[in-house]
Amino acid sequence: MASVTRVPLLSTPTSLFSSFSTPTPLQCNRHFEVHNKRNFRRLAVVAMADSNPTTVLVTGAAGRTGQIVYKKLKERPDQYIGRGLVRTEESKEKIGSADDVFIGDIRDADSIVPAVQGIDALVILTSAVPKMKPGFDPNKGERPEFYFEDGSYPEQVDWIGQKNQIDVAKAAGVKQIVLVGSMGGTDLNNPLNKLGNGNILVWKRKAEQYLADSGIPYTIIRAGGLQDKEGGIRELIVGKDDEILKTETRTIARADVAEVCIQALQFEEAKFKAFDLASKPEGTGTPTKDFKSLFLQITTRF
């Protein structure tokens, strides 16, 4: 029978595990209290980072629609830090002369850099505005004639001016641009193009394409006929390729356009999309409140 060699068991010094003695209930409670406090602080920091207001610059802030967007941003300080860009001191006074209203000329890119620095999003509401030639008398059955002032033609404002805004915003790392244009851009013979021989829709469309090609997340809103009416009381309609112009619902309140601009900043579903926008007549349909669903209806990128 083979002999068996007995190997003596090694004794373990009691001091080896002395530091790992079973914790008392009081020690456990203290441990979890410290752990929970640390987790709470981490969550609080994350929540604070997520809840930081978005800094938004509205250009054309003294215009009739721009004023509404600027005002809406200022009314929601928990969500937004609103800024405005206007062209003159007179325009700045028109909207309150606040320190967050900058003066600059979109035709001069360098002049708008200070307004754009540090913003998260840009809402472009600048546009060339035709003026009526003097001497028009509607009683004579005449049609009014329009003109653009020197330096304020659509090519200079709606193309060069908007291109400058897009370029400066891209250089500043802006995360989203909302651009408000007009329906009718698919038709070169649209009457708006004939005003002052400015081809305003042609130049607007060119700026829209430039934005779509820029790589910046964008929302392009091509509004129908703008009306100075109360917002939030009509059902909004979205479309593409000027299809809405073939219907009877071709108008929209400026206040509704302004609200869509702001809502577009809140939903991923609004990014990289371009659409026509109008509304049903007041009293028909259901007033639009669910903007995420509205943006989900849109499938066109341009």
**Count of other CB atoms within 10 angstroms of residue 183:** 26
Query: Of residues 127, 152, 182, 279, which has the active-site annotation?
Result: 182
**Tokens representing 175?**
């995360």
Instruction: Decide: residue 9, CB within 10 A, 0-12 exposed, 13-18 middle, 19+ buried.
Output: exposed
CA 283 to chain centre: 29
Q: Is residue 182 flagged as an active site residue?
A: yes
The radius of gyration of the chain from alpha carbons, rounded to an integer in Å, stands at 30
**Count of other CB atoms within 10 angstroms of residue 86:** 25
Find out whether 211 and 158 touch, Cβ atoms under 8 Å. Answer: no
Q: DSSP characters for 236-280?
A: EEEESTTGGGGSS--EEEHHHHHHHHHHHTT-GGGTTEEEEEEEP
Residues classed as catalytic? 182
